[in-house]
């Protein structure tokens, strides 16, 4: 795979974009759904646009939108401990220090990028300015790089700290930014006003864990026979110890419909349920996991309308939890896909108001961590409107993640709302097996 050329930066140091007018100066509480260990990283988005937008316009509109989204101009910090319960708690210092905005040029065309780099690779990282910081907490929550291309096109990359918002919140922020670019200059009214305060998701006092939460429970493999050559198996550690290569497959609406039809006729399911079940089975099958081993599927579920009362409109913090389906490998790969679909549906059905409150209370204990040792994690980016972002030069030619990981992304496809691109990284020798398993039921490669 051909690597991208180096970026030539416009200046030695990037701009720091601060809010255009004064903003509240206070510390913002982060909920337990925001700051638990699994989310302590930045989500990196990549857009390819056919037409450029003047960087002065982008900087000015970003400065204006940061007035409303002022926590993104702040800095994350650890809360001063006050008893054991607050150990390792994070908050946002809303100090208006600003977002990082870098400008660069790369000597390629947008078509070069789309043709030569069909899958993420390490050279894509050149498209995002790397903020120098001694720790995760010192990286500004919002880092942006605009890279102009030889053809006149533009690549926009952003890194947004996951502790501040999820995919829905990110889409809300991006569209607010676009609104201030494309709307009348003096119209500062956003279609959706951001709701900042996370106290609606504070734990109960005292915390009450009323449900089992298998997504946070370490799997015990038990005694294995010597013939299995496995005593214990941490799939995540195994994957992270290998050279990884991304697998990327696009499922059109017609392929998803065919996939749904492979389920029992009486089983109604959504496109997500069918594709998640199919991806989980293909993943386990291609890794050749021991048949008696328990295996999990963790997938994001939007809880904004599942709570009582519902989260306020404009809530852009993390409003999702990870649902957990689990079974043994032999049941997952040997039974019909409808078995896996039912497990996904059962996991979704458990996400009730009390279940969510129980999970918030569980995460008050900062020693609790998401158990990914024997799990595929699927994050849903499709259906959020991320691919519809128009900064004034038209919708993107491509939208996706800057990087690929062992966690699976369901990505939107620019220009095709109902299509889904499945992306996950696996060991190089496993990628072909995974891709084969993903398309074998269709009789041809997707």
Q: Angle at the Cα of 320 (from 319 to 325), degrees rounded to 5?
A: 170
- Residue 7: closest CA among 120, 113, 89, 92: 113
DSSP class of 282: H
- Using N-to-C axis directions, what is the helix angle for 167-182 and 55-68, rounded to 10°? 120
Answer whether 73's CB lies under 8 Å from 142's CB.
yes
Is residue 426 scored above 60 in pLDDT? yes
Say how far apart CA 12 and CA 134 lie, in whole Å.
Answer: 20
Bond from prior residue into 131 cis (ω within 30 degrees of 0): no
Say how far apart CA 170 and CA 76 lie, in whole Å.
Answer: 17
- The distance in angstroms from the start CA to the end CA of the chain is 20
Q: What is the pLDDT of residue 134?
A: 82
Say how far apart CA 295 and CA 376 lie, in whole Å.
Answer: 8
- Residue 376: closest CA among 401, 350, 340, 337: 340
Q: Which residues contact 438 (CB under 8 A, 6 or more apart)?
A: 247, 249, 278, 279, 282, 422, 446
- Mean pLDDT of all residues belonging to the chain: 91
Share of the chain above pLDDT 90, in %: 82
Say how far apart CA 154 and CA 65 lie, in whole Å.
Answer: 21
Please count the CA atoms within 13 angstroms of the CA of 276 that sit on its side-chain side: 32
Q: Angle at the Cα of 167 (from 164 to 171), degrees rounded to 5?
A: 100
Is residue 224 scored above 50 in pLDDT? no
Report the range of poorest mean pLDDT among 43-47, 218-222, 306-310. 218-222
Report the range of poorest mean pLDDT among 174-188, 289-303, 309-323, 402-416. 174-188
Average pLDDT over residues 423-444: 91
Strand partners, 251: 420
Q: What is the pLDDT of residue 223?
A: 40
Catalytic residue among 36, 162, 175, 213: 162
Say how far apart CA 369 and CA 32 lie, in whole Å.
Answer: 12
Say how far apart CA 102 and CA 35 lie, in whole Å.
Answer: 27
List the CATH code of the domain at 233-442.
Answer: 3.30.559.10
Say how far apart CA 231 and CA 240 lie, in whole Å.
Answer: 19
Is residue 258 scored above 70 in pLDDT? yes
Bond from prior residue into 309 cis (ω within 30 degrees of 0): yes
Say how far apart CA 9 and CA 106 lie, in whole Å.
Answer: 9
Q: What is the pLDDT of residue 87?
A: 65
For 60, counting Cβ atoms within 10 Å of its Cβ (0-12 exposed, 13-18 middle, 19+ buried), the class is middle
Told to judge if 175 belongs to the known catalytic residues of this protein, a careful annotator would answer no
Q: Which ranges in the chain are annotated with CATH 3.30.559.10?
A: 8-199, 233-442
User: What is the per-residue pLDDT across 116-172, written as a single tens digit (0 to 9) for each?
Assistant: 767 898 999 999 999 888 888 899 999 999 999 999 999 999 999 999 999 999 999
User: 3-class DSSP state for residue 113?
Assistant: helix
Q: What CA–CA distances, in Å, run from 99 to 74, 87, 137, 144, 158?
A: 8, 28, 14, 8, 11
Q: Which CATH class is domain 8-199?
A: alpha beta
Told to judge if 166 belongs to the known catalytic residues of this protein, a careful annotator would answer no
- Residue 398: closest CA among 386, 410, 406, 408: 386
Q: What is the pLDDT of residue 83?
A: 59
Please report which confidence band the pLDDT of residue 85 belongs to, taking 50, 70 and 90 as the band edges: low
User: What is the per-residue pLDDT across 265-298, written as a single tens digit (0 to 9) for each?
Assistant: 778 999 999 999 999 999 999 999 999 999 999 9
Strand partners, 94: 26
- Using N-to-C axis directions, what is the helix angle for 271-286 and 253-261, rounded to 10°? 80
Say how far apart CA 116 and CA 149 lie, in whole Å.
Answer: 14
* pTM recorded for the entire structure: 0.93
Is residue 253 scored above 60 in pLDDT? yes
Say how far apart CA 170 and CA 166 lie, in whole Å.
Answer: 6
């Amino acid at each position: 795979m051909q690597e991208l050329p180096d970026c030539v930066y416009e200046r030695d140091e990037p701009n720091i974009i601060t809010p255009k007018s004064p903003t509240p100066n206070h510390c913002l509480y982060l909920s337990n759904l925001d700051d638990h260990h699994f989310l302590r990283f930045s989500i990196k988005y990549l857009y390819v646009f056919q037409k450029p937008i003047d960087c002065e316009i982008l900087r000015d509109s970003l400065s204006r939108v940061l007035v409303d989204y002022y926590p993104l101009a702040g800095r994350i910090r650890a809360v001063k401990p006050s008893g054991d319960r607050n150990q390792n708690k994070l908050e946002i210092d809303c100090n208006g220090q600003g977002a990082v905005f870098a400008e660069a040029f790369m000597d390629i065309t947008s078509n070069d990028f789309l043709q030569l780099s069909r899958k993420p690779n390490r050279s894509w990282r050149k498209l995002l300015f790397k903020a120098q910081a001694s720790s995760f907490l010192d990286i500004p929550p919002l880092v942006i790089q605009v890279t102009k291309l030889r053809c006149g096109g533009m690549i926009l990359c952003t890194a947004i700290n996951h502790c501040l918002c999820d995919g829905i919140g990110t889409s809300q922020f991006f569209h607010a930014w676009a609104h201030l670019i494309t709307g009348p200059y003096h119209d500062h009214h956003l279609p959706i006003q951001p709701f900042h305060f996370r106290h609606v998701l504070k734990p109960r006092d005292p915390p009450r864990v009323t449900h089992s939460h298998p997504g946070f429970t370490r799997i015990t493999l038990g005694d294995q026979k010597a013939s299995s050559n496995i005593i214990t198996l941490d799939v995540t550690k195994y994957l992270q110890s290998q050279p990884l290569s991304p697998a990327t497959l696009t499922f059109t609406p017609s392929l998803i419909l065919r996939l749904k039809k492979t389920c029992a006729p009486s089983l109604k399911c959504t496109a997500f349920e069918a594709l998640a079940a199919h991806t989980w089975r293909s993943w386990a099958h291609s890794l050749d996991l021991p048949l008696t081993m328990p295996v999990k599927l963790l997938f994001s579920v939007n809880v904004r309308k599942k709570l009582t009362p519902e989260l306020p409109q404009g809530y852009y913090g993390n409003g999702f939890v990870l649902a957990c389906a689990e079974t043994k490998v032999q049941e997952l790969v040997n039974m019909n896909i409808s078995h896996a679909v039912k497990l996904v549906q059962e996991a979704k059905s458990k996400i009730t108001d009390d279940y969510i409150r129980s999970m918030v209370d569980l995460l008050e204990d900062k020693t609790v961590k998401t158990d990914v040792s024997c799990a595929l994690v699927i994050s849903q980016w499709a259906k959020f409107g991320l691919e519809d972002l128009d900064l004034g030069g038209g919708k993107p030619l491509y939208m996706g993640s800057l990087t690929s990981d062992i966690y699976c992304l369901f990505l939107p496809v620019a220009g095709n709302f109902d299509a889904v691109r499945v992306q996950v990284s696996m060991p190089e020798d496993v990628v072909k097996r995974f891709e084969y398993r993903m398309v074998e039921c269709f009789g041809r490669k997707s």
